Structure 1
Amino acid sequence: MTAGAPAASRLRDRYDVLLLDLDGTVYAGADAIPGARDALVVDGGPRLFYVTNNASRSPADVAGHLNVLGFPATEFEVVTSSQSAARLLAQQIPAGSAVLVVGTDALAHEVELVGLNPVRSYDDAPVAVVQGHSPDTGWRILAEATLAIRAGAYWVASNVDSTLPTERGLCLGNGSMVAALRTATGRAPDVAGKPARPLMDDAVRRSGAERPLVIGDRIDTDIAGANDAGLDSLLVLSGVSTPADLLVAAPSDRPTYLAHTLAALEKAPEALRIAPHRDVSAQVDGATLWIEAGDDVDESVVLRAALAAAWEANGIADVRGRGPVASAVADRLSGPRD
């Protein structure tokens, strides 16, 4: 638990700021995640700050999208990896330097705001490359970036998410485009977004949070970033990461709390921790996890207890359930991984 956090009957009451991921947590593409607005827009709740690895839109555009979906948000309350990437650039290269932008005009604008000169061609002698998600990224701009990076340009990636949740499902993310440049150049970028520290540090600093809770849908970015920054986290199973991912998650990728949806903010904090439960038997026999629970036990309770046993044992290769609810959870833990 975050130092100094008070006892609370509801999870939302334990924290002063919610640092919310967007894609897969608050919305998927153009559509809000079902129930997200009702869970977040409550009287007297913690302040909401939106922290996104997606560098394709400006903070003002993101806030506008959130407003249309019914979420309260101002430009100030949106913290993007493009802003953190621009800050990293400004710390490493002289003011006025040319920066080759692989990404949207919104990313280029953030580069301008820190006193640097965004360009789109290697012929403009860039001393740095910044790369963020854009649905229009193609071979030509990647080729320009390849030339610059191979010539020694400093390289910053807004994020390295391999996939991006959309209303149609998971599509390739900025990390997949970064991987192409890594292959072409033999270099690796500095990373601004989660799980790297710059974006999370910027969000905490801007919000003035004393007891922040990080909420997201990816264990390898949102949760890993929270753990690296020493912050509590809630993983919601509305986006990328699955129970099967959690089964084999490294300690650095394990959340403080787990829930299917943001409605869990109304529940008691201790009920959301991944821990043994008196109504669930989760026993390890060799490399097999056996789960048993009554038909009246909620699947979420069974899932948390099963994960607690798996994490304690390590090396689980198979999951079996006795009874309908336990079998359903075992199937989810054995299912596809991201």
Structure 2
Amino acid sequence: MPIQLSIQRAQQLKAKPDEKKLGFGQYYTDHMLIIDYTKGQGWHDARIVPYAPISLDPAAMVLHYGQAIFEGMKAFRTEKGEILLFRPDKNMERMNVSNDRLSIPPVDGDFLIHAIKELVHLEQDWVPSEPGTSLYIRPFIIATEACLGVRASYQYMLMVILSPVGAYYSEGIKPVKINVESEYVRAVRGGTGHAKTAGNYASSIKAQEEAKEGGYAQVLWLDGVEKKYIEEVGSMNVFFKINGEVVTPELNGSILQGVTRDSVLQLLKSWNVPVTERRVSIQELYDASANGTLEEAFGTGTAAVISPIGELSWEGRVIQINGGVIGPIAQRLYDSITGIQNGTLADPFGWTVQVETAKA
């Protein structure tokens, strides 16, 4: 990774969008970060430049063989006007796990955090202050070498773009209806399920579309071999509270190691709430529902933080969870994580990293 970072400022700045109507991923800031990789030279030419389209050769290997990984992070503005990042070191760790699986050269996480802080500092006026809003940070890497040979690319481009986003729940947190996917498979052990790579999301779209046609917000993925053990819900990790104990599928090589997932585990343990990482079958959930011990279910991820589940449908059998309202554990987790992120609650874990907010 380079030590020097150059900055080229945009000559004309965009008008800022209405913070009350941001949505998700609809607006982009004035600048972006680019770092190139060349075999034999390593990562080089780190630069912050005006946001603009990029040029790719039609034979760029990402377009043909899918070498592409990404991360999702956020910057939050506190009531005091400070800007905080949430656990960026964990995103860097996971990025290199994804890089390794896709045969992409590793990045220097410390330097990339530094560069992202510089980019957010430059774009600090884009960090919204409305309740529930944030600045979404999307780092990604693509293979750029022009070659039709099936091998790892010798050239890559790392980019970071920023997007102000609105509150995920515009009308408050409401449990969603989930369809248990019995036909399509998200991932198998030995594949790329543990990596945050573009292809995983492309292959999930078909099931999501069919679920939405049936009136469901997302799909619950089962394992790809026996199709009986729970893996993820949509693009989120998933938790269940059964008879007083919170359980979540163990990391097995096909499940993404979520930053929010890890945060939830640490919070629950600090509260002395029983929590276990293990295999969880869909039949176990339905049995727990039948005997009255299935108390809560929720997904966890960067975008929504906590997404409560109020209904599951599996092979025509529908169960309700907690009367279709958010449970106390899910609510406490949501309040605690968002409170730490926006600075209204103390951060006993040292999760937040402050960005310099003096005028760029």
More helix by share: 1
Q: Which has the higher contact order (CA 8 A, sep 6+)?
A: 2
Task: Give the TM interval when normalised to the shorter protein.
Answer: under 0.3
Higher strand share: 2
State TM-score, norm by structure 2: 0.23
